[in-house]
Chains A and B, each alone.
Chain A
Amino acid sequence: EDQVTQSPEALRLQEGESSSLNCSYTVSGLRGLFWYRQDPGKGPEFLFTLYSAGEEKEKERLKATLTKKESFLHITAPKPEDSATYLCAVMTTDSWGKLQFGAGTQVVVTP
């Protein structure tokens, strides 16, 4: 059975305190791994797609990396506006068009 697990469940950071979120996956075959950001009361917003081990993507203070078993979302020198829930999702080789999501990591950045 395919599984996606995110850790930690919640993370509290001081402004400027860099950290990493983990998304580990167990799937039959990975077609792509996706990161989303979700603000309270809103739908998830797309951040990155990673397709193969070793791939990296960056956007402002966020950097996503991928290995054969997990993905990391690194937040460098976070600001309060980076507070959100971060979701990862996988698309497997036998489930085209369907994403399976992890439960998310809630990040709070305090000034």
Chain B
Amino acid sequence: DAGITQSPRHKVTETGTPVTLRCHQTENHRYMYWYRQDPGHGLRLIHYSYGVKDTDKGEVSDGYSVSRSKTEDFLLTLESATSSQTSVYFCAISAKGYGYTFGSGTRLTVV
């Protein structure tokens, strides 16, 4: 996944703790996205960003917040992790708002 890195790749955390996932890009793309992928649901948009400090909610944003203080970094925070947030999280980038490039994903388990 040239140009886009997600960290960590795997994380196990306890219910009620805050968790931050990081997406880093080296492509200088304007648009960045966070999706979650669950069996039977496909990919669902959590939050997205169309520029530094410009973010908006997706269809499953409750319990999540994001920040983008630099073009290259887009952070996803689970304010108080719950078991329903156990999922695989993907970051994506796009130069023009379409033709996404996805990261390799972060597998998050909330116990």
Instruction: Name A residues whose Cβ lies closer than 8 Å to a Cβ of B.
Output: 32, 34, 36, 41-46, 49, 87, 89, 91, 96-104
Q: For residue B33, which residues in chain A have a CB less than 8 angstroms away from its CB?
A: 98
Q: A43-B1, A43-B90 are in contact. Are A103 and B102 (CB under 8 A)?
A: no
- The stretch from B38-46, B61-69, B71-79 touching chain A is B38-46
Interface residues of B in 1-58 (CB under 8 A from A): 1, 31, 33, 35, 40-45, 48, 50, 58
Q: A43-B1, A43-B90, A87-B42 are in contact. Are A96 and B97 (CB under 8 A)?
A: yes
Q: Select from chain A the residue with minimum beta-carbon distance to B44.
A: A101
Q: Is the CB of B98 within 8 A of A43?
A: no
Q: B94 → chain A, closest Cβ, in Å?
A: 7
Q: Is the CB of B58 within 8 A of A46?
A: no
Q: Is the CB of A32 within 8 A of B98?
A: yes
Is B104 interfacial (CB-CB < 8 Å)?
Answer: yes
Instruction: Name B residues whose Cβ lies closer than 8 Å to a Cβ of A.
Output: 1, 31, 33, 35, 40-45, 48, 50, 58, 90, 92, 94, 97-105
Q: Is the CB of A43 within 8 A of B45?
A: no
Q: A43-B103, A43-B105 are in contact. Are A97 and B42 (CB under 8 A)?
A: no
Q: For residue A32, which residues in chain B have a CB less than 8 angstroms away from its CB?
A: 98
Q: Is the CB of A42 within 8 A of B48?
A: no
Q: For residue A44, which residues in chain B have a CB less than 8 angstroms away from its CB?
A: 43, 90, 100, 102
Q: Is the CB of B45 within 8 A of A99?
A: yes
Q: A24 → chain B, closest Cβ, in Å?
A: 14
Q: A93 → chain B, closest Cβ, in Å?
A: 13
